[in-house]
């Protein structure tokens, strides 16, 4: 989501548009914006049923080896939303 948001910022900067005040004039750039925005929106709505919350910044997950039941992989994910970067 952060990468898509950064791409939107760059798209608007490339077109000289401040504060997302209007859509770009170029149809290709409008389509790119729509695609990026839809990616952000879809990822946001997909995260809701997975109990994702913006107030929790770190998620730790483990997977278990099927034969032993012992942890085989531990992954820590830190979530940060870049706003106005």
pLDDT the model gives residue 25: 96
Crossing angle of the two packed helices 27-47 and 2-14, in degrees rounded to 10: 160
pLDDT the model gives residue 1: 81
pLDDT the model gives residue 80: 59
Q: Cα–Cα distance between 74 and 6 in angstroms, integer? A: 29
Tally of CB atoms within 10 A around 66: 7
pLDDT the model gives residue 40: 87
pLDDT the model gives residue 72: 47
Tokens 């107030």 belong to 55
pLDDT in tens, 26-81: 999 999 999 999 998 888 777 666 666 666 666 655 555 555 555 444 455 555 55
């Amino acid at each position: 989501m952060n990468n898509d948001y950064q791409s939107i910022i760059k798209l608007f900067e490339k077109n000289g548009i401040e504060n997302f005040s209007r859509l770009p004039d170029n149809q290709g750039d409008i389509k790119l914006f729509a695609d990026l925005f839809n990616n952000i929106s879809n990822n946001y709505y997909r995260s809701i049923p997975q109990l994702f919350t913006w107030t929790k910044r770190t998620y730790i997950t483990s997977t278990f080896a099927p034969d032993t039941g012992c942890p085989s992989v531990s992954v820590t994910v830190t979530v940060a939303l870049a706003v106005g970067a």
